[in-house]
Every structure is written in C-alpha cells, then in structure tokens.
C-alpha cells in the first residue's frame, strides 16, 4: 500500500502500527525515529522498524507515508524538522488524541503537493514506550480520519485502506467535532480517573493500603487509566482546553445535583438518574456498539 512508511516517535501507537503493518504486509520498508538514544536502541534490540534512524529527517527521506506518533504538544516541532525532506505526493498523517491543535501546529509546515491527513485511532492502553505495542491493538477499533479542507480524495482513501488493513474501522470527522466528542468519551473521563485516584491517595494514611487491596472493579479501572503517560495527557488537556472545560463544567453541575440529592435524602432523584444512565448503557449494548462488554451479544436482563 505504501513503499516506505516513516514512524516518528516510537511508543505504544507507533510500535503497534509497526507490528500490525508486518502482520498485514502493507508496507515495503518501515523506518523509525525516536528522540532519545535509549528508545532508539531498544527499538533496534527488539526489531521494531526495518531501519531506526538517528534523525527524524533521515527517517522521512523518501517516505510516501509519514505518521507522527509523538505527544500532541511535540507535533509542530517535528513537522518543522521533517519539512525539507517531504516529497511531493507523500502523505503526512498523525495519531494525536486532539485534532484542531495538531492541524494548527503541523499544517503550516506541510509543503505544496504533500497530502496532510490527520487521524486518530481510538485504541490504546495505559502502557507507553517502544516495548508496549502489539499487532492487535487496532483490531475492530475506530480510527477517525480528519481530512483538512482541500485534502486529496485518493490520498484519503489510500490512508483509510491502510488503517483498515491494520484492523481498524474508519470514519471521517470534522476536527472540532472530533475534539468535542473525545472530550466527552475520553479526555474528561481520564481527568475524573486521575482525580479519584488522587483523592484515594490523599486518604491513604487513614485507610493505609486498603484502598488498593479491597478496591472493587470500578476503582481498579480508575487506577489503570491513571497510570497513563503524563506527558501525553498533559498535552491533551493543554490543547483541547475549550472542549474539556465545557464538558467539565457540565459534569460539575450534574455532580452538584447528585451531591445535593444525597444530602437531602432525595432517593427519587438518585433512582431516576441511575435508571436513566442504565438505559443508556443498555442501549449501547443492544446497538452492538461495545464489543468489549462482557454481556455483549447477550439479551440484557429487563428487570434486574
Ligand atoms: N496511548 C494511547 O492510549 C493513545 C491512543 C490513541 C492516540 N494516542 C496519541 O498517540 C500519540 C503517541 O502516544 P503513545 O501512547 O504512543 O505515546 P508513548 O509515550 O508510548 O510514545 C511517544 C513517543 O514519542 C517520543 N517523543 C516525545 N517527544 C518527542 C519529540 N519531540 N520528538 C521525537 N519523539 C518524541 C517519546 O520518546 C516516545 O517514544 C500521542 O499524540 C497520543 O495522544 C495515544
Ligand atoms: O484504553 C485506554 O487505556 C485508553 O484510555 C485509550 C484511549 C481512550 O479510549 O480514551 C485513550 C486516548 C486515546 O486518544 C484513545 C484511546
């Protein structure tokens, strides 16, 4: 599908892309670059990339697909660095969790004749670094393709076919809409998990290690999410500021309403609220939209 693919930033997403590309046989040579010597050495040691280069420009020379896999806040600098070697007809894409900020940071560095097609695979784990990737990460996951105005249709379709070969389902989305949707489904939930784990840690002296020892599944999931890469998430909140603040504002209002209901002993309010949220979850399962759910494919119990 592409003769030479360059991966810039060799962490969870780039390494998963490499193994998925090898599984699918969709790329000729895959070159890679990471900022630190240690990461480049690890990549060489584990056979991550056909060739690991010492500069981003060297990795991108002659590439017909370049994928920026660095934290969102580093995308602009990397784009400036590789600009001189980008050949007409090549595609530059990225995997950043925020799209408007990446378009603004990278777009100005894309030379005439080079296709710039941002994308965001909705797949990840709390792990990071070159050894954390695996070929199946994108299987049956969405990858949101966010073409900029004037993007070449054939280049977009080629990138979509590429991601589909890596196991993903693709859909196109406008950048601002993407950032709002992700603020709801990913960014704010991460912030809530970080906060909850912080609260538990504040209580550590009272509860000792019992917080973790006896933690139920919900809190354990919070601690998993709160173990995600701090640089990546710092950049997500700094670059998706407006949408995240909007959703956080709404979240806080709902939380205050629930807090008040608890204080006032308003059981009806609580029951009504939880009935409503349960119906939302069941709707998702019934629509077949959560294939990871343990109850996926089973008929939901109506009156449990
Ligand atoms: N982890 C997830 O769940 C997930 C999911 C989808 C998209 N993303 C996005 O993918 C991108 C990469 O995330 P990841 O999880 O693979 O992160 P990661 O921390 O595993 O890897 C990032 C890599 O980029 C390198 N790097 C950082 N700054 C750099 C710079 N200036 N120049 C060159 N290399 C640099 C790091 O050393 C590291 O090797 C981020 O933009 C993130 O928002 C992450
Ligand atoms: O499963 C996880 O660990 C994730 O948080 C992955 C997750 C998410 O679903 O929120 C995180 C950030 C991304 O940009 C895309 C996916």
pLDDT at 285: 79
Cα–Cα distance, 189 to 21 (Å, whole number) = 31
Q: Residue 199 and residue 196: Cα distance in Å, rounded? A: 5
- Mean pLDDT of the 185-195 span: 95
Q: What is the pLDDT of residue 221?
A: 86
Burial of 59 from C-beta contacts in 10 A (0-12 / 13-18 / 19+): buried
pLDDT digits (tens, 9 = 90+) for 233-251: 999 999 999 999 999 999 9
pLDDT at position 211: 67
Residue 171, both tokens: 């859909």
Write the ipTM.
0.97
Top mutation candidate among 71, 234, 239, 240 for ligand 1, by most atoms within 8 Å of CB: 71
CATH 3.40.50.720 fits 2-173, yes or no: yes
Among residues 143, 144, 132, 147, the alpha carbon closest in space to that of 167 is found at: 143
The residue written with tokens 């799209």 in the block is 99
Q: Is the CB of 70 under 6 A from ligand 1?
A: yes
CATH number of 177-265: 1.10.3660.10
CATH 1.10.3660.10 domain residues, the chain: 177-265
Tokens of 45: 């040691």
291 — pLDDT class (breaks 50, 70, 90): low
Alpha-helical (H) ranges within 32-74 are 37-46, 56-60
Strand partners, 31: 6, 51
List, for residues 260-276, the tens digit of each pLDDT value. 999 999 999 999 999 99
What pLDDT, on a 0 to 100 scale, did the predictor assign at position 234? Answer: 98
pLDDT at 64 over 90: yes
Mean pLDDT of 83-112: 98
Instruction: Return the residue whose CA atom lies nearest to atom 2 of ligand 2.
Output: 125
Q: Could you give the residue range(s) of every CATH 3.40.50.720 domain in the chain?
A: 2-173
Q: How many CB atoms lie within 10 A of CB 244?
A: 23
């Amino acid at each position: 599908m592409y003769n030479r693919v360059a991966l810039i930033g060799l962490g969870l997403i780039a390494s998963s892309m490499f193994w998925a590309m090898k599984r699918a046989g969709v790329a000729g040579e895959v070159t890679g670059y990471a900022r630190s010597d240690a990461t480049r050495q690890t990549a060489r040691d584990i056979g991550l990339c056909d060739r690991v280069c010492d500069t981003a420009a060297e990795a991108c020379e002659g590439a017909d697909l370049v994928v920026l896999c660095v934290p969102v806040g580093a995308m602009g600098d990397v784009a400036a660095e590789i600009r001189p070697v980008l050949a007409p007809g090549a595609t530059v894409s990225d995997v950043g969790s925020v799209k408007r900020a990446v378009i603004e940071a990278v777009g100005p560095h894309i030379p005439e004749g080079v296709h710039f097609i941002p994308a965001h695979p909705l797949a990840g784990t709390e792990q990071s670094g070159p050894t954390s990737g695996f070929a199946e990460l994108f299987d049956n996951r969405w990858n949101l393709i966010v073409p900029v105005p004037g993007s070449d249709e054939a280049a977009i379709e080629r990138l979509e076919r590429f991601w589909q070969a890596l196991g993903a389902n693709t859909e196109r989305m406008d950048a601002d809409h993407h950032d709002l949707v992700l603020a709801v489904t990913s960014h704010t939930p991460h912030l809530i998990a970080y906060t909850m784990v912080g609260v538990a840690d504040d209580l550590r002296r009272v509860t000792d290690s019992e917080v973790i020892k006896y933690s139920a599944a919900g809190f354990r999931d919070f601690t998993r999410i709160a173990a995600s890469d701090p640089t990546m998430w710092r950049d997500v909140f700094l670059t998706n500021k407006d949408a995240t603040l909007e959703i956080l504002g709404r979240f806080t209002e709902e939380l205050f309403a629930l807090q008040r209901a608890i204080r006032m002993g308003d059981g009806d309010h609580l029951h009504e609220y939880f009935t409503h949220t349960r119906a939302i979850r069941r709707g998702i399962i019934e629509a077949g939209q959560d294939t990871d759910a343990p109850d996926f494919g089973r008929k939901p119990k109506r009156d449990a």
